[in-house]
Structure formats: structure tokens, C-alpha cells
Structure 1
């Protein structure tokens, strides 16, 4: 279904009303919105089409609409380049002043100040990691043929840390292809971090592709062993969300992931480039336990040097506009502070 402007307007209204009130949105209510300027019958037809194409769900034909994950994704994409300017200038100045003041008073408290400010700004769970040079780089890659169809992959990291992996293939592998693959892998991976490599297009060919995926897996595995200093605030905000009332199992699972470091590792694996923000919505998560939640993740600091992450965790019905603007505000301020103290 190619959505027309009218369809998008109706869907946007449904999403915004549901975010605000947490209740299914009746077609009659949509039709009464002055900017729609269409009949109730037209709205019902549009809603039926949206339901058929997976943008909304309804318990029965006469019930109100509840936005599906596709609707939230379309809504977020339609927001375009949201920035901190949608927040009041007074609020922006206040947040910047408090963060810079915390650095002046005690540099060790700015993480706590930042996460508290962000949690209060968005009314959600907030997580901030301290800036650090945590990017792990590959020094060298070797590939040795140990049988006609079996290769030994050797990945060398700084500090003479060596990781090995045996890879089997269905057919005989020529030495010329191995040599070509070694050159390719070293060109792609050496002196690059996991975050610089993870979105690179896969190479062609079974051998190169499998070697590429294996090196990336080893690099990610080593990256996840790095310890991060982080601050967290606002878990109490999730306790009052209607989605989680009488569903303690969801929050218990989230708390468990926090305590085990799994949530932090997830955030770090999804972290975008410095100065940018990424939104992950509901069932876009590969981890089933995270599908009741959405994440807004930002990266601040100095590229390839001192960087940290800023994240907001909430129900799928989070206030995306305010959340994205708030995370971008914190990214910009904390990038400035990192440059000041680096």
C-alpha cells in the first residue's frame, strides 16, 4: 500500500493521540479533528485500509485504532530532522548551564547530572555512559589453509591478543583466493573499530563473505568484553506506564538485563555515529525481551577518540518527538563538554 497524504495525516493523528492518551482512537474522534476536513465514512475507509496493511490494529471493526510498529516507524521517519530547537530556549539554556556547572564543581558528577536531567526531560528510563576511548581495533588478520576446504582465521588485536577460528567450506579453496581474501580483509578491518565496520556491505563470494562475517563476529565479541562506566536514572518512570501495570514480568526482565549488563551491551551495539541519533522501535529488536520497549540512542564525544552514549528506554508508546529532541540536546552539550575536558 502506497500511503497518500490523507492516509498519512490520519495515521499521524492516531499515533499522536494514542501516545498522549494510551487509548484506542475512534474513527469518529479522528473525523472531528478540524484539520481532517473529511467525512466519518471516509475516515472509516482509510482506517480499514490501514488495518489491512498492518499499520493499526482493532479488536473488532467498531473499535478504536491502536498503532502498530509500522505506524510508529512511519511516524518517526515523517518527523524528519528533529533537533533540539523544538525544545524551548529557556529549557535548553537551563540544561546546558546545569551540566557545565556540574563539571565546574566536580567533573566526576557530570554523568549523574546528565542522566538525571535527561530522565526528567523525557519522563523515561535514561542511561548515559562516560566518555572513554573504548573502540577496539584490529592490528592484523592472517588466514592459513590447514586442509583443502578448511581455513584457520587468526585475528590479532593490540597488546598481542590473538583470537583464532577454524572455518570449513564445502569445496576446495585455491591459495590464490586465500591470498586475495587476506589482502581484502586487512584493507577493510585494520585500524578500524567494530562501529566503523558493522554496516559495510558484505563482499561477494562464499569464502570472502564467511571470512568477513567471522572477523566481524570476533571483533564484536572482543568489543563486548570492554567495561563501561555508566549512570542510570528513571526506572520509576516505567513503573507508572499503563503498558507495564500488572505486568511485572516485563520490568523484572528489564531489571535483570540491566543488572547483567545486557541492556548496556545492546545500547553500545546499536550506537550510531558521533553526533547522531538512532531509534529502535518495538519488534525491530532481535531480542524478544526488548520488543515491548523502544530505544532512542545518541552518541557524543570526539570521533575515534573519546565517545559515550546517551539512551532513553520507554514503552513503544513513548513521546518520540520530545525524546529525539532531548537526546540530541544532550548529545550536543556533552560533546562540547568532552572537548572542554579532553
Structure 2
């Protein structure tokens, strides 16, 4: 007999049983994974038909999020660019809206809708407001791309806390996307084959799993923005795997697919690190030069998001997921 739809939307009712156990790889292996692509790399993702589908991409005014948005627009998707009001040095989301609309028109998708909705991941109130606005539309959400992120604290501070009291890198890269995803689950569940794509990193292998210091108050989880970045990528990877397990165990969410993608060593603004100290400043210059010399382009990095969002290989498993 087929499973009956559950009336309990609380995923916390699914018990956690899996142990946390993995062999920590060497730093050499991690960096080899990060540098697999080069400036000469040119991969592709097969074209997809996204006409009539709704896609939300956080952090889509720059870098790989922007490139993914433009490509999805060319495939006919209806897009919500979920971005904050950026500082002057960054591309304004309204310009990316224009770029996406142009890509859609060139591809013959004049009816595709592209909008910018403000989402500041440094504010949980902003995340709540964004989700409430979306849910009021009553639309089914086909693809959610949790992509926004920062690589260091503002002003090079060791710890910078948001108004919500959380370390800012941890909140922007991880906590806000957890909230965003959980709030939007009912909308995702209303789509026939929904997907959640989370931008992670192979640097999660360098993260410190210290639940006793989840918010970086005891110094157990590192003492720099770069370490916090690695930590929250580890938390993100663990969370998305556990989220998929719980979704599979909950009938009304079983058809949702969750993917974590590592885009590679991409030459984007994520390497514009703000750290104090002359020695650290030298390291940052080296990292930025290396990104320019060796890093792949944002367009190539965006293929990881696109693959997770549309490819058959990264889609639902017919043996365990129901349409």
C-alpha cells in the first residue's frame, strides 16, 4: 500500500541515527581537489528546458550565482534573484535582472519573468520577510539555489557578530540558508521534481566540527574568518546530507532532491578577504594572484550549480523518491 500523505511537516520528528565518522584527508589532497580546473578548462552542461519553472538563487548578483542565473534565464526559467542591497563596489542586482532578461529574449523566452527581491543573509528578519513574500504568491518552487556567501569578516575582525548575535560568516553562509530552506519547504513540496542546490566547498575538509562552540564564542572552532568559512562549509555539508535523509523519510517531502556542489577554484570576489595583520595581508595577495592565474572563470564555476539543478545524474533517485 502506498504511503499516505503525512500531516506532520516537522522534520524534527525523524530521529537522527547516523554517526559522524570520516577519515580526514591530507591538505595536499584537498588542494589538489580545489585546483582540478584551470583557466584552460571549458566544460559544459547539457541544455535544459526550464520554461514555466520558478527558481530562486541567493547571491546571484556576482560570481557563479550571476552566471547560473543568466544561463537559467536563457533556458526559460522564471527567476528570483535573492540578493542584498550591495555596496557600491559590487554589481547591483538590477543590472543582473536586465542581463537575464536579455538572455531570455535572445533565446526566445520573452514571457520569462526575472525579478530582484531583497535578501540580506546577515539578517534573519530579512530572510523571514523574503520567505513570507514568496509564500504569499502561492507559487510552487522548482529550484532553490543556496549560493550566497562571504569569505571573511567585515574590516578584518576576528569575530564580527550580526544583530542576531551570530558570527557573520556562519550566519550568512549557513544559518540563513537553513532558515530559508526550511521556510520554503512547503513551496518546494508543491513542485513535481523540486531540487535544492547548496554551494559548498572541498574546504569543508579543513573545517572544525565543534558543536560546543557552534557560534565561535569559546575559541574552539578557530580564530579567523577563513577558519569560520571552512567550518560553516563543513556544517553545511553535514546538514544537507541529513536534510535529504529526513526528507526521504517524510512522505510529502520525499520527492525533493538536495545536492551539495563544489564549484572549484573560481576567480571571484570570494577571495577578496578582509583580514588584519601584515603577514595575513601577504597571504591574501598570494591567494588572489593564484586565483587570477589558476582559477576557473565564474561561468565555468557556475556549471556546478547548473549540474546540481538540472542534470539527470543529480536528479531524483527513482528507487527511493516518488514523483
Question: What's the TM-score, normalizing by structure 2?
Answer: 0.25
Q: Which has the higher helix share?
A: 1
Q: Which has the higher strand share?
A: 1
Larger radius of gyration: 1
Question: What's the TM-score, normalizing by structure 1?
Answer: 0.24
Query: Which of structures 1 and 2 has the larger relative contact order (alpha carbons within 8 angstroms, sep 6+)?
Result: 2
